Amino acid sequence: MARLLQPRIVYYLYRVAGELAPRIPPRVGYPLFSLMGGLVHCLNRRARANVRSNLRHVLGPDAPQDRVNQLSRATFSHVAFNYYYLFRLPTLTAAQVDSMVHVHGWENVEAALSLGKGVVMTSAHFGNIEVVLYAMLMRGVSMTIPAERVEPPELFEYLTQLRTSTGLKLIPIDGPMTDLFRTLRRGGVAGIAADRNITGDGTVVDFFGAPTLLPDGHVRLAMHTGTPLILGFSQRLHQDSYEARFWPHFRIPEEGSDQERLAAGLAYIVNGLEEAIGTCPEQWTITARIWDKPVETV
């Protein structure tokens, strides 16, 4: 939708939504935002095509097109649901957020943090990534993540204010990354998404059976600092009910060439991404095209 409107208009629409959403109860808010997601699905042909392309790779060439279309529509609802949650976040108490989230595998985070080197936490735009972040923040873990700039700058500032309202620290992805190193040295968590290459740097990997360029900064950061990697994902169970799940941590081998060590870390990441996204593809809320080449359907 943002591509269809002037950035300044988009900014004002976000501000209006941010004012109204906290006043709308979930029983009304979720159906309303689902309708908004459906509107964007209809109007934004490019984003719709991107989501369908991604789903085709996840589901495989044998999946019926009707199934792909159905999940594509659902994906836009989940994108809208995430904004509804984000707009309400500053008004929610820690107890309210905690009651929404069922956390599994927290002992894996504690085991990784106990090594004393901090943690590089990796996730995907799956379910509601904010849930994973705040599950950690509410348990006393400091966290810094790079964020993609959006236009206009006022919108980026507003979204940053929303996301940092509970203690998360955001840094622009096109700026210096020194704060990530500082966070790790303090025993905190550096969070980096693993499913979208924004900067153009990365490594070509086999992802759902086809090659694509995925980010590798999380693995390189872990290699450089000797920090354990950990995967965390969320899944929406029903409206304001979420599950956050953390994988056992992974230590990149000290032996081997840099390329071999990088490949080992990426294999851990990609396996986790495929497992999580494959369980509920419509909750993979990424509207950019991940693969350049289409899947040949049969």
Quick one: what percent of the chain has pLDDT higher than 90? 82
pLDDT band at 199 (very low <50, low <70, confident <90, very high): confident
How much is the pTM?
0.93
The per-residue b/e assignment along 9-26, b for 16 or more CB within 10 angstroms, e otherwise, is: ebbeebeebbeebeebee
pLDDT for position 298: 42
Cis status, amide bond into 152, omega within 30 of 0: yes
Element (H, E) at 282: none
Res. 177: pLDDT tops 80: yes
Element (H, E) at 157: helix 153-163
Greater model confidence, 209 or 201: 209
* Domain residue spans of the chain: 2-283
DSSP 167-229: S-EEEETTS--HHHHHHHHTT-EEEEESS--SSS--EEEEETTEEEEE--HHHHHHHHHTPPE
Contact yes or no for 245/233 (Cβ under 8 A): yes
Element (H, E) at 238: strand 229-238
